[in-house]
Amino acid sequence: MHTDTERCARAVRSKDARFDGWFFTAVLTTRIYCRPSCPVVPPKPENMTFYPSAAACQRAGFRACKRCRPDTSPGSPQWNQRADLTARAMRLIADGVVDRDGVPGLAARLGYSTRQIERHLLAELGAGPLALARAQRAQTARLLIETTGLPMARIAFAAGFASIRTFNDTVREVFALAPTELRARAPRTPGGARGALSLRLPFRAPLHPDNLFGHLAATAVPGVEEWRDGAYRRTLRLPYGHGIAALTPAPDHIACRLTLTDLRDLPVAISRCRRMLDLDADPEAIDGRLRTDPVLAPLVDKAPGRRVPRTVDEAEFAVRAVLGQQVSTAAARTHAARLVTAHGEPVDDPEGGLTHLFPSTGALAALDPETLAMPRTRRTTFTTLVGRLADGSLHLGVESDWPRARAELLALPGLGPWTADVIAMRALGDPDAFLPTDLGIRRAARDLGLPATPAALTARAADWRPWRAYAVQYLWATDSHPINLLPV
């Protein structure tokens, strides 16, 4: 979008927050860059130039605006709705792969050379993977500086910087302030030294929280997830340790409290929480498309901004999807809770009732299949899935190629289209995944006068593409099932 200068200029003049994260405005006279909704008086058109990423702005020598804080914009919705190389790379960078494994590690995960990765990212985003990761480190550093009382040296290494000097130079370059000056400008949040952080996760309005949090709460696995005091809470398995996230819906943001055993996991924990709540979606584009169907239009108008409830761990969700085959939500939770108690890793939660991490695929692959209280065919599906996940022959991650992953899932014994599509929708993030055989979808279709057979319904849903996963949320919401209701 940043190449359409007239459209970008109109968005800046109207201070349209819908475009935050889509592009960034760099002001040639002041050498600062802003989000489109910056509250200051817009610069003259001839003094504006536009970039596709904060990293590109920083690479061109611009510093972040102190008023609108463009580094805290919602992420571009493109990376969650596309499955090409650039989008998959961006999802991995957000998950901290470059900081942990370098650009070669990123390239290996994607199956391309480092040169190809560099070329694709530079062409579309104006910055390579190292610059994009550096921008993310700067944002993490600012968050830790402003919300904790941690020593600057600890913040530097927690944010992913190799040295304190690099940390100081980057903060000064990006924010035009020294780290100590950043801290002096913002109130501190107590508890940071213990790894507890309170922050706000922005999103593009509207956001309808009922089905989002209702689904997560209704399917919560005891010990791993809970709904407590108006917040969805769950344990997180992270690269350097583990954590607990508490997420509370608010009118203009999601309140997030993170308790981490290692602060180096902060950017990854934030990224996974945002992904789970689908916070980078573009509801205007999604709802606008679905409103063109006269059957869906009243559902969208009644509660616009529905999101797809996703996951923080793709392999975990795949396991839970198999446990949920042909059983009720309550039965699936019971099966999962037994596995958690027997094979999950214990954690300490002083604030609530969370007791374990969900079992790793390695632990599940080592269990005795005869201990599983499920039919033999589903037991075979379960053991085959966890075995493939544990040995790496099947990988489900943020970088997964959606069609290829779906084909690999369908090749497993006993894993049919419904399971593959629900994994594609909620674990892999495919916005066009569709569930024509789902009982709730078929019931909604019947009540709304849509075709009842899966083949006919799939043909009818072609007009909803590429947002059929969101159409599923609106169709599910016609029922009074607890997944559609915000818990009390």
Catalytic annotation, residues = 34, 438
Report the candidate in 269, 303, 324, 330 with the shortest Cα–Cα distance to residue 435.
324
Question: How far apart are the C-alpha atoms of 314 and 482, rounded to whole Å?
Answer: 23
Task: State the virtual CA torsion across 187, 191, 194, 199 in degrees, nearest 10.
Answer: -60
DSSP summary character for residue 353: S
Report the candidate in 229, 219, 261 with the shortest Cα–Cα distance to residue 243.
261
Q: Which helix (H) or strand (E) holds 209?
A: helix 209-218
For 250, the token pair is: 């608010």
Residues 6+ apart with CB under 8 A from 289: 464, 467
- Spatial contact of 341 and 356, defined as CB atoms under 8 Å apart: yes
Question: How far apart are the C-alpha atoms of 191 and 282, rounded to whole Å?
Answer: 34
Residues 6+ apart with CB under 8 A from 273: 201, 245, 247, 254, 256, 258, 312
- Amino acid at residue number 403: P
Residue in the structure block whose two tokens are 């190449």:
3
- Spatial contact of 188 and 224, defined as CB atoms under 8 Å apart: no
Residues 6+ apart with CB under 8 A from 438: 418, 422, 472
